Amino acid sequence: MILKYLNRLKYAPLYEIIRYSSSPPISIIISAYNEENTIINTVNSAKKVNYPFLEIIVVNDGSTDKTLDLLIKNYKLKKSIFFIYRQKIKTTKVKGLYYSELYPNLIVIDKEQTGKADSLNCGINVSKSPYFCSVDADSTLEKDALLRLTRKIVESRTPVIALGGVIRIVNGIKVEDEEIKNIELPRKCLPVFQIVEYIRGFLFGRLGWETLKGSFILSGAFTLLKKDAVIEVGGFLPNTVTEDLEIIARLHQHYRLKKEPYYIGFIPDPVCWTEVPEKISILGKQRRRWHLGLLQTLWIYRKMLFNPKFGKIGMLVMPFYLLEALGAIIETLGYPIVILSYLFGLLNIQFLILFITLAIVYGVFLSVGGIFLEEMSFKRYPKWSHLFRLLIYGVLENFGYRQLISLFKFMATFQFLFGYKKWEYVHKKGKK
Amino acid sequence: MTITLILVIFLIFFVTILLIIYDIGRRLIKNFKYKKLDFYRSIYLKELAEKFNSSSDIDQFVNFYKFHPTSLRGQALQEVLIKLSHNFEEEVKLFFKKLGYQEYHEKAIFSKNSIKRGIAFKILGDLKIQDSSIKIINTIKNEKNENILLTACMSLVKIISEYQIEEFLKILINKSENNFLSYKSVSLIMLSLLERFNKSAINVLKRELSSDKINDTTKSIFLESLYYIDYEDDTLKDIAIKNLSSDNPELIAKSLKIISKLKISEDDVDFSKILYFLNHPLWYIRLMAIKALKNVFNEKLIDKMVPLLSDNEWPVRLEAVNVLFSLPINIVIKKIPEWLDIKDNFARDTIVEFILKHNWTDKFNHMIEKGDANLKQQITDISVIIKNYYNFNFPIAQS
């Protein structure tokens, strides 16, 4: 699938799309809460995106740091003394709307802190474009990222509702003038483990589902959505912890029930670079939130599970994710149970060794498989040292990192069972 | 059980080792390949640029470059030729033909392998090999792959001659109507075609639009393409007006869009026809109807436009206020208090936002400076109304 796609890129038109009106206008919506370290870089990178009809909307989600001040200073923002704010999707009250004297396509919305979902809804209410792209405030879009996404909109005969691109990890990489210059692997272990994990997740998981036409998870850090469709289903839901996952599930449900043709998919070549946690405690927060979001979404849309009315999504994709969600419990409990069983004499040493070996060898196989796909396709890590380090970390991640992630998921399952719904903000270092 | 487990472990382990060996081996081979490609590219670029520049006889050196098109050297050579074609179009075409590459790619367009077909279409188009146009036209008649079709059509646009436009358009219509190409793909192809051929393509297009053989969706794509190019004439006007009677909303919207671009007068079109669309249930038709009326808007039409200030859709409200404020300033000033009396909040908001965003406050001040007492009073009334509604002063209220 990936090779077929890459070969197609050899002849598919790309830059022709810019020249004509076929490409739909897009609003990039950036929700920012206390992002003083990253916001200017993110807006600058959005400004540099190679796309003809672009509007950039930054939603300051009640930041208590200098996020808004920096935006005002850097882009000569002027507070509009009067503005119309029509709530096509109900949101919290907007405190102010700012226009830039330097960049007419930049708008900043200032509002009370109510979370990312509500901020995105505010952005949608202000947006003038038929499509919007939600981008995290600590992310850098590659120049052609939007163009590569919209190529699908131009070519598709089915209405495109949502498209997701690839998220790659920016830690350790030299970013100059908001552009990715020198690709390097980070020195710290934790981000490298995450690189291996992301490669596997995007090239194995998401591309695999795309092949089966069952894309269900698109990363909120970089997703293109059709505005009307999102408004029609009521916008992002503020009381879930992963609004990106929930909205995709809702869109699937909506269009399947309406029996209208639609396309929600993953495109492997547009890239958005984002920062990942470098501390275990922050990684734990992030992963617990993701898993809690998955469980919440599966619970909200439980009626879709095993329901033939929802086709492949209900019969195959959602059951898979349910299995994955439960897998974390089995995996986390599996290790102590097997060891305890051995200690209590219920299991012989031979089986214990075989069980642990199988778990590790299979994990290594998946990681190496992901790196293999990366090597076959985009090869974004060009040095030999990169390849060897990735392979080594692909092996090493099975000795502690994977178990740690399972533990976070296990903890999230408990949070879910006890009704925990809070959005945990993940603070990152910021690109220097 | 134990043996099975051991076997499974060994099997997975073995596959993993194979993947690692493959990764390393592939990278070794690729690195070697890319280095060679870079080397060949730089050599050929230098050599051929010199040769084409000095107008050497191609026959004298073509044999030195006869490599198989899929070989590394052949690949590098083709990339160099595409680069050089911008400066040496004819020389490159002749060289490409004498190398046998043209024949190779003309055969490849019949290949069962879609990638081979796609690449062949692209190269023939990029190098503008006009001789291949007939073969490509014949091939795409049976092509059903939407991605290949888009590439082939984009290439054809670059290489067909004027006399082939009609045939090409007929194929495009067929592909569009049989849903082999998306709406936006056809639009992209049409715009490229119009950009290259302009009047000759427009004439063929108008003939197709005048006939009843094409469906409404295709008609609307064609009309939209015509909107974006710098062209207007009476036939286009007639076509647009005729299509206003269609049942297809897309076609009506595109026809109104065309009318908005043309300089029409009351003699050209029965305004009641356009006014009717101001109340159409679809917002984009209402929007296009306002745009179509913009050029001929006058005081008599104010009453028809004012209700649209309360429209549910912001683009419609904005366009309505835009048109109303295009009237002479003394009429606008006289009418603003009436418009601000509309009960709908969004209508009032749209008017005030327009006044502030488009510096109408400066215009008001300018009128005040002229010293007309009546006008001054009207402007002061406006500022008082706005202050009462929104509780803010703008410069006029203070003046």
Closest Cβ opposite residue B356 in set A4, A10, A81 = A81
Torsion of CA B33, B35, B40, B46, to 10 degrees: 160
**CB pairs below 8 Å between A and B: how many?**
121
Query: Is the separation of the CB atoms in B198 and B231 below 8 Å?
Result: yes
**What is the rounded average pLDDT for all residues in chain A?**
88
In chain A, count of helices (H) and strands (E)? 16, 12
Q: Hey, which residues does A57 pair with through a beta bridge?
A: A29, A107
What's the DSSP call for residue A24?
P
pLDDT of A119 reads 95
Closest Cβ opposite residue B188 in set A4, A154, A369 = A154
On chain B, the residues whose CB falls within 8 A of the CB of A86 are 314, 346
On chain B, the residues whose CB falls within 8 A of the CB of A369 are 16, 19
The domain locations on chain B are 181-296, 298-399
CB contact under 8 A, A22 and B191: yes
| Pairing assessment for the beta strands A263-274 and A139-141 based on DSSP bridges | antiparallel
What's the DSSP call for residue A21?
T
Name the minimum distance, in Å, from the CA of A383 to any CA of chain B.
10
- Give the CATH class of A2-310: alpha beta
Query: Is the separation of the CB atoms in B125 and B106 below 8 Å?
Result: no
The pLDDT > 70 percentage for chain A reads 96
Q: How confident is the model at residue A420 (pLDDT cuts 50, 70, 90)?
A: low
- Tell me the CB-side half-sphere exposure of residue A206, using CA atoms within 13 A: 22
CB contact under 8 A, A13 and B228: no
Distance CA A90, CA A84 (A): 14
On chain B, the residues whose CB falls within 8 A of the CB of A79 are none
CB contact under 8 A, B147 and A8: yes
Distance (Å) of CA A47 to CA A141, A144, A146, A223: 10, 12, 12, 17
Q: What are phi and psi of A215, to 5 degrees?
A: -65, 125
pLDDT of B394 reads 60
Q: Which two tokens stand for residue A18?
A: 């810019």
CA-closest candidate to residue A144, choices A291, A345, A330, A9 = A9
Closest Cβ opposite residue A375 in set B8, B27, B185 = B27
Multiple choice CATH, B181-296, 1.10.3720.10, 1.10.150.120, 1.25.10.10, 3.40.50.720: 1.25.10.10
Q: What's at B241, amino acid-wise?
A: I
pLDDT of B265 reads 74
Dmax (CA) of chain B: 104
What's the DSSP call for residue B309?
G
The pLDDT > 90 percentage for chain A reads 51
Give the mutation candidate from A1, A16, A22, A376 for the B interface (greatest B CB count, under 10 A).
A22
- Considering only CA atoms, give the Rg of chain B: 32
CB contact under 8 A, B26 and A376: yes
CB contact under 8 A, A372 and B188: no
pLDDT of B155 reads 94
Q: How many residues does chain B have?
A: 399
Distance CA B193, CA B384 (A): 56
The domain locations on chain A are 2-310
On chain A, the residues whose CB falls within 8 A of the CB of B148 are 11
The residue in chain A having the minimum alpha-carbon distance to the alpha carbon of residue B117 is A11
Distance (Å) of CA B76 to CA A13, B35, B60, B102, B293: 21, 11, 21, 16, 57
Distance CA A395, CA A390 (A): 9
> Which is higher by pLDDT, B235 or A168?
A168
On chain A, the residues whose CB falls within 8 A of the CB of B24 are 387
The residue in chain A having the minimum alpha-carbon distance to the alpha carbon of residue B349 is A84
Distance CA B277, CA B291 (A): 11
Between CA A400 and CA A30, with CA A196 as vertex, the angle to 5 degrees is 110
Distance CA B80, CA B92 (A): 10
pLDDT of A432 reads 38
Q: Hey, which residues does A263 pair with through a beta bridge?
A: A160
Distance CA B180, CA B165 (A): 20
Query: Is the separation of the CB atoms in B260 and B225 below 8 Å?
Result: no
ipTM field: 0.78
pLDDT along chain B (399 residues), means of 10: 87 92 91 94 94 83 90 94 91 92 94 92 93 92 89 94 93 91 90 90 88 86 86 82 89 92 75 88 93 88 92 89 92 91 85 84 81 81 82 55
**Buried b or exposed e, range B173-203, using 16+ CB within 10 angstroms:** bebbeeebbbbbbbbbbbbbbbeebeebbbb
Name the minimum distance, in Å, from the CA of A84 to any CA of chain B.
6
CB-based contacts of B328, cutoff 8 Å, min separation 6: none
CA-closest candidate to residue A25, choices A206, A155, A146, A162 = A146
pLDDT of B392 reads 65
On chain B, the residues whose CB falls within 8 A of the CB of A362 are 12
Dmax (CA) of chain A: 76
Name the minimum distance, in Å, from the CA of A278 to any CA of chain B.
28
Name the minimum distance, in Å, from the CA of B181 to any CA of chain A.
7
CB contact under 8 A, B12 and A362: yes
CB contact under 8 A, B349 and A84: yes
Query: Is the separation of the CB atoms in A242 and A296 below 8 Å?
Result: yes
On chain A, the residues whose CB falls within 8 A of the CB of B12 are 358, 361-362, 365
Question: What pLDDT, in 10s, does the model give residues A217-267?
Answer: 998 889 999 999 999 999 999 888 889 999 999 999 999 999 999 999 999
Return left, alpha or beta for B297; rule: phi > 0 is left, psi -120 to 50 is alpha, else beta: beta
pLDDT of A57 reads 96
CB-based contacts of B15, cutoff 8 Å, min separation 6: A365
CB-based contacts of A198, cutoff 8 Å, min separation 6: A167, A168, A169, A276
Distance CA B254, CA B241 (A): 11
pLDDT of A88 reads 85
Name the minimum distance, in Å, from the CA of B288 to any CA of chain A.
17
Question: What pLDDT, in 10s, does the model give residues A84-120?
Answer: 777 889 999 899 899 888 888 899 999 999 989 999 9
On chain B, the residues whose CB falls within 8 A of the CB of A376 are 26
> Over 80: is that where the pLDDT of A20 sits?
no
SS3 B177: helix
Q: How confident is the model at residue A21 (pLDDT cuts 50, 70, 90)?
A: low
Closest Cβ opposite residue A156 in set B2, B122, B182 = B182
Q: Which two tokens stand for residue A16?
A: 């022709």
Distance CA B362, CA B380 (A): 13
